[in-house]
Structure formats: structure tokens, C-alpha cells
Amino acid sequence: MSGASNNGGTGLGGAANVGAGAGGQSGMSAGGMPASGGEPSSGGAPTGAAGMANGGAGTSGGGTAGAAGMSTNLVTNGTFETTSSPWWSYANNTTDYPADQTLAATNGQLCATMTAGGQNVWDEIVGLSGVALTKGQYYHISFTVTADAPRTIKFKTGLGVAPYTDYFLESVAITATPTTATPQLVDYTYLNLRDDPMAQFQFQIGKTAGTVCFDDIVLEPVPAPATPAYTTPAHSHHPFKDYKGMVKMGTAVDTPIFLSNPLHNSIVAGEFAMITPANSMKMNLIQPTQGVFDYTDTDALVAWAKQNGLEFRGHPLVWHTQTPAWLTAPDTPFTADQLLDIMYKHIDGLMSHYVGQFPYWDVVNEAVDVNKDTGVWGYRSTVWHDTIGDDFIELAFNHAHAADPAAELLYNDYNIEQKGNAKADYVFDMVKALHDKGVPIGGIGFQGHYFIEPDGTTSNGVPDMQAIRDNMARYNDLGIDVQITECDFRIGKPLDDMKTAVQNKFYADMLQVCIDAPNCSHFTVWGLSDLDSWVPSTFPEYDFAHLFDTHLMPKDDYFAMSDLFAKYNPDDGTLIGGTTGTAGATGMAGTSGMMGSSGMTGSSGMTGSSGMTGSPSSGASESKKSGGCSVTPRSNGSGPWLVSVLALLGVLLSRRRRAD
């Protein structure tokens, strides 16, 4: 399954990497500089992919790659047998976070010694310029590395001039290497998406003082790896996408990591009905220079989605985070008219390029926040709102509708799932006012980021499913579509069976709520696997948020969802047997055998959520962060037994099949 001493798994790398890939840098911009906070992002630096963290079927095994005639190493000086080297170093030395290093080729290695490491890994860089890369070509990267202390490094290829764009950026955990030990070997293959005769190859090594040494660096073109066949592991033998008449299941993906991992790709194509670009359509990447759009990464994802019959979601058009520097820090701030023109041109640039291709667009993202001084909810203070005014949302939706009248337009936000939550209630009133005014807002995106705390506490991070049902119902009364757009459930370390059971139940409960609501049409999980998760780098005390593990194997939460789907006929959405499988009013679908305090057991041993989620915490704050999302305490939404039964009967009578 893998070359050398890998831990097994399913990836592209042909040689060993004994250290698992570390968590990516959430919210990274294309240039490796940190973006401001906000919604979670797989980021410019996702986690180590399968070939790197776990090994797998290599392009050629053992550290050399490619077929005959394709083994030319673009790094002609990667063995450091002489002290002369064209590699350069960079230190982002600042007053608050000083960084400094010396670089020398000694003893057959290229060694960087850092007296200060800076704040981020990109504050210390070892780089090589003038590397010629070809669009559409797969490249094999390998190198050995030693370090005097454990650390995370990133290796990347990318443009060397502004606007700075990452072609490939990958994190890897480096263990401390005794002088007598064999150096750690890192090996990966990736798909390059741009032509550039003068690209850079970099090692980003900052944050921790110490010495890091590299040797035997290879960057060479190789043939495209084969995509493995995929058979769903679902007990029903039906992948998620077979139930798209009920709920369209999707996942977030990113380039170039996504397109570089054949197993990952085959799972997404085999299981899901749609994809969302995690980062490639965000403004800093899609319009890095004012008026100049870079569709490269998104075009590649769209082409892949079409090839595999998946729908594509436009995400996002107007957002305050991951914006380019030219927008937020100009020498002369933009006037309201100028910024409105920029917003319109950004909408036009994206929607005209993809007109008629995307059935859904997140037009405005995360525009509501609480005033920290007054505690009053309202519009978030952003460059868009503060410059254009309160009507920027209305203007954005009207302009987007004119750009693509056939597309469904959504407002997308976090912590708006539960009726009775102050933010959720404010957003509902805002959407209702826009809808009543005739603004073409057709849907609402519930992001759905939740968690269990490291000590096992659930009262802050596990939602009240009845409150979500009630919220979906009032949007249904308006004729507004509901889509769960970014769902995940992170687990506070350490992982244990109790926390896993809560996670399994959460995913099944959320899916059941969506199935039962006549206006809940989509359910997107924010990333496929723990392998490329955004969570550990953003919340170091949390991990394990997704449906597949670091080896791209299905987890129990995947089976909790697929087993719930299995209670329905995929052809028409009817319950198999006619009497089992529905949750009821208190979010009673969960993991088989779990018992909530209500004692009310659903079908196949599934139980009410009220006992699992716990009661609301009176001391919790509505601004508690969850994956870039503010999660408020749950309200006590457990309904009486009679209400549950009546709701169960109502669902059974109203079960419907949605059109594709």
C-alpha cells in the first residue's frame, strides 16, 4: 500500500512520511499572509493530504517518480554537495514577533538556523526562484528533513511576484531528529494549475527557534495518477447522492489539494451530489488585483464537477473576510459610490463568467453580528456595510438577480439555525423584511458548525433540534428554501467513545431535521475528512470533525447518516415499511442505541436529543466561537411526549420527494 516506512493509507505519495500532516492554516490568503477571522476555511494551507500523511499507492514508490522520459528534476541543486547554493532565506522581522535566520549548505544539507521564529510559519522561508511549471502537469515533490525540535513546516510552489498565488501549499509535522536517526522523508504528488516559467519553491519553517535541514529535494513532472474505483461503504449500498430527490448532499472542496488526491476525488464523486469551493471563489483569490479576475482554480473545480455530474454552488459573492489588500487598505479609502461600483463589478465578473452554470449562489455572507458594547444585534461593521450603508445587502441581491435571473440566491451565516437564538431571530426578521420588499432572496444558508467540548460538555455546542425545526418551519411559511451549507461537528480532545456517540447523533439528528422539513433541500458538510480539516489549526484543542478519517476511511458518523437515509426509498422518498425511520419533534433521530434523558426511543433504538445535548448554560455567552461561527447556548426546546407523537404522524403523512 505504501513505499518505505509509511503508516499505510491511501494517497499519492510514493515514499514514506512518518510524520502525519499537520493542521492547515485557516483563513490564509493566497500569499501566505493571514486573513482576518470569520467563517471557517479549509484555507490556503489545508492539512496534509493522503500521500503525505499516510502514504499510499505512489506514483513510482520509494522517492523517485514518473515514467521513462519524465524524471527530470527541476531542482538541479537539491543534494547540496557543495557549499554554493542559489537558495535564499527570508525573515519577517517585526518588533512584536521577531524572526531571524542564517542559511548555509553544510555537510551535504541545506540548514536554516533560526534565532527567532516569528509568529507564523511563513515568517521564516527558505526558497528557490525560477522554477518552470506547466499548467495541467502533475509534479512529484520529495525531500528529506531533519529538525532539532518538533515543528510544523509548509512546502509550496507559487508565484514570486504580486499578486501572490499559491499553486500548491502543504503542511507536514516534523519530529525531532536525533543525529543518529534517518532523516524524515516527505513525498507528495500534485496537479499544477498554472503556467509559470519563474515560479518559486519554498519551505516555510517559522514560529519556533532552532535548526531545520533539507536534502535530496526533488520536483519533477510525472504522469497523472489513476483514480481508483469507488464503492460506497453504506450498509444499504446506496451512496448519499442516491437520495438527492430528498436532500442533496454536498461537501466543500479546495484546489489544488482536492484535484491532486485521486482517492479523495473518487469518494466525493461517488457519494455526493454537489460541491462548494471552500476558498477559490473568495475575493482575495478570485480578484487579487482590482479588475483582474483569476478563475483558474474555480474553473478546474467546475470542470471536474461537470465531468462527474455534480452540481456546483457559488460561494461567496460579498463577504468581509479574505478580501484582497487593495480593497481594505487603499491609500485613499473608497467612497460609497466607488465601493458600490466595486461590489457590482465583482458580482458581474463572477456571475457572468459562470452564468447559467450554478443553480445556487451565496450572495452575502455573515453580515450580522452583535455590538460588543450594547449587546444589540445588527449589521456587522465591515468595509461593505460601513461604506455603502444598510442597504448593501438589498443592492447585492438585486444586482445578482439581474446577472443570473435563473439562479437561487441565498444569505449565508453561522449560528442562525435555532429559533429563539437572538442572532437567528434577527436574521429571520432581516430576511423577512427583504422578502416582503420583493428582494430576490430565495434561500437561507444555515452553516451548522457545532462541537463537544474537551471535558465532554454539550450545553454550549450541541443544538436543540426542535429549535432548528421551528426555525425551518417559519422560513417555510415565507416560501424560503433552507440549505445546511457548512456543517461539521468538532470534538474536543481527547477523542473517546462518549464524544464520538454525541457526534454521531448530531449528524443523524441534523439530517433527520432536514429530511423532515419540506423546505430543506441541501445538506453540505464542510470538508470530507479529518485529513484536510480546517479545525486543528483554528481550534488546537479540537479535531475529528468530519465523516471520513485521516486515511479517508468512513467513520461512525458517516454510517449514522447513511443508515438514516437507508430507512427511505431512494426512488420516491417514502419510508421503507411505512412506519419507521422518522425522528419526531425533538430531534429524535440519532445513533442506534443512544438514550436521551427523555427516555423516548425512536426507531431502531434511536433516541431523543434532549438528554444528549444537555440543558442550556445560564452563564454561556452568545459570542462563544465555533469554527469562526458564534454559537449561543441552546434553549430548552424539548417538547412534551404528545407533541413528539403528533409531529411524528405529521411527518409520516407529509413525506415527499423533491424534484432533482
Judged against a pLDDT cut of 70, whether residue 614 lies above it is answered with: no
Of residues 339, 376, 382, 337, the one with CA closest to residue 364? 382
Catalytic residue among 366, 394, 408, 417: 366
- Segment 466-472 shows an average pLDDT of 98
- Whether residue 396 contacts residue 320, with contact meaning beta carbons closer than 8 Å, is answered with no
What integer pLDDT is reported at residue 153 of this predicted model? 94
Please tell me which residue, 601 or 389, carries the higher pLDDT value.
389
Read off the pLDDT band of 209 (50, 70, 90): very high
- Whether residue 511 contacts residue 247, with contact meaning beta carbons closer than 8 Å, is answered with yes
Q: What's the chain's average pLDDT? A: 81
Do the domains spanning 50-222 and 247-579+609-632 agree at the CATH topology level?
no
What integer pLDDT is reported at residue 37 of this predicted model? 34
> In Å, how far are 16, 174, 213, 216, 563 from 79, measured between CA atoms?
18, 20, 11, 5, 53
Taking the domains of the chain in order of start, what are their residue ranges? 50-222, 247-579+609-632
Catalytic residue among 220, 311, 417, 486: 486
Render pLDDT for 519-531 as a digit per residue (tens, 0 to 9): 999 999 999 999 8
Record the cell numbers describing residue 407, joined without a space.
439562479
> In Å, how far are 106, 143, 175, 548, 566 from 172, measured between CA atoms?
24, 12, 10, 20, 38
Please tell me which residue, 637 or 101, carries the higher pLDDT value.
101
Read off the pLDDT band of 71 (50, 70, 90): low
Render pLDDT for 301-330 as a digit per residue (tens, 0 to 9): 999 999 999 999 999 999 999 999 999 988
What integer pLDDT is reported at residue 84 of this predicted model? 83
Would residue 453 show up in a list of annotated catalytic residues for this protein?
no
Which CATH class name applies to 50-222?
mainly beta
Q: What three-state secondary structure class fits 451?
A: strand
Record the cell numbers describing residue 3, joined without a space.
513505499
- Whether residue 71 contacts residue 32, with contact meaning beta carbons closer than 8 Å, is answered with no
Strand order in the sheet with 138-147: 99-106, 109-117, 210-222, 138-147, 184-191
pTM above 0.85, yes or no: no
- Segment 65-79 shows an average pLDDT of 70
Would residue 366 show up in a list of annotated catalytic residues for this protein?
yes
- Whether residue 226 contacts residue 51, with contact meaning beta carbons closer than 8 Å, is answered with no
Element (H or E) spanning 411, and its range?
Answer: strand 408-413
- Least confident among 169-173, 320-324, 361-365, 396-400: 169-173
Which CATH class name applies to 247-579+609-632?
alpha beta
Render pLDDT for 401-426 as a digit per residue (tens, 0 to 9): 999 999 999 999 999 999 999 999 99
What integer pLDDT is reported at residue 26 of this predicted model? 31
Render pLDDT for 1-18 as a digit per residue (tens, 0 to 9): 322 222 222 233 322 232
Judged against a pLDDT cut of 60, whether residue 279 lies above it is answered with: yes
Per-range mean pLDDT, top range of 315-324, 623-632, 648-657: 315-324
Judged against a pLDDT cut of 70, whether residue 83 lies above it is answered with: yes
- Segment 454-458 shows an average pLDDT of 98
Render pLDDT for 572-588 as a digit per residue (tens, 0 to 9): 999 998 644 343 333 33
